[in-house]
Amino acid sequence: MQLELRQLRSFVTVAETLNFTRAAEQLLISQPALSQQIVRTEQQLGVQLLERDRRQVRLTPAGDELLIRARRLLQDHEELFRAVRRVAGVQDTLRVGYVESSNLPFIAPAVRAVQQAFPQVRVERLEVYSALQAQAVLERRIDVGIGGLPVEQAGLDSLLLMNTRWSVALPAAHPLASVDAVPVAALRDLPLIVTPAHINPPLYQWLLGQCRRQGFEARIVFESTSMAGAMQLALEQVGFPVVCSSSALGRWPGMVVRPLADPEAATQLGAIWRSDGRSPLVRTFVRAAAKLQGVSPRATAQTA
């Protein structure tokens, strides 16, 4: 018989909250998965740890004893981990990958939440395009990515944080800047700037497909990985960037973002991280981001 730290951590969270729903949200797993973990732990120990009914959850005497010892063991494990890394001169770091040009209001507060909970931790914010984030997370080059959803790679969990739309960035003096939403048909006469297909395949495929449905080919005059470069070209009327409606244009006075008037222009942004990861830094960051966005911090696993 061997209990995993993951099982002990799940039990302690349930025992402290006495609520499976809240515990599952804190652990970023589904409630059925959490229930299965607790049942497996009880079966391995051969004792009942929790008394459950429709109204409440209570610890049994065996559960009380396990809670005391599990807390101590988890604390010892964390101290061991930190002590060894400290002696080796390794500083704990949370690496967050995101698209810098996106206006994501939850990133800075979520970073502060991590720094408040873990004062010795350094947080690195890295520019990583959405299409590259899943592989970067799987290869442990970043710990959590903030980008487009859904992701298709197995071994990742994700959480939707924001709904947004494909939009076009325009100088404020442009005639289309005065409309609430730009029809796709209006792109016929616009020279467009987009990120390369290998960096943002969903946008590239959607844009070309929608323009063809309207009977014309998108006039892509420039592919750019630099928001600054794309905005400078837009100010010079060379071309107009297709971006997310959340894109931050504060550094470019005189530019506005207008969403594209198409139901299929909707897109999603969220967090992705390794399914087998148990980093308290990632959990703290994701929970904080979810709270700021008013969503339940319950992950969706990618299985294919």
* 221 and 275 share one domain: no
118-120-125 Cα angle (round to 5): 80
From 28, 58, 87, give the residue that closes a domain: 87
* 262 and 252 share one domain: yes
Separation CA 151–CA 153 (nearest Å): 6
Structure confidence by residue, pLDDT tens digits, 101-148: 666 889 999 999 999 998 888 898 888 888 889 999 998 889 999 999
CATH code for position 144: 3.40.190.10
* 137 and 218 share one domain: no
Separation CA 67–CA 63 (nearest Å): 6
pLDDT at 215: 96
Cis check for the bond before 150: say yes or no (omega within 30 of 0). Answer: yes
Count: domains in the chain? 3
Q: Of all helices (H) and strands (E), which one includes residue 46?
A: none
Q: How confident is the model at residue 218 (pLDDT cuts 50, 70, 90)?
A: very high
- Each residue of 235-245: b (16+ CB within 10 Å) or e? eeeebbbbbbb
Show the domain range for 43. Answer: 5-87
Is residue 90 scored above 70 in pLDDT? no
Structure confidence by residue, pLDDT tens digits, 179-202: 999 999 999 989 999 988 888 888
From 87, 121, 143, give the residue that closes a domain: 87
* 170 and 152 share one domain: no
* 22 and 70 share one domain: yes
CATH code for position 64: 1.10.10.10
* 170 and 260 share one domain: yes
* 194 and 247 share one domain: yes
* 153 and 278 share one domain: yes
* 168 and 262 share one domain: yes
* 73 and 104 share one domain: no
* 262 and 214 share one domain: yes
* 30 and 124 share one domain: no
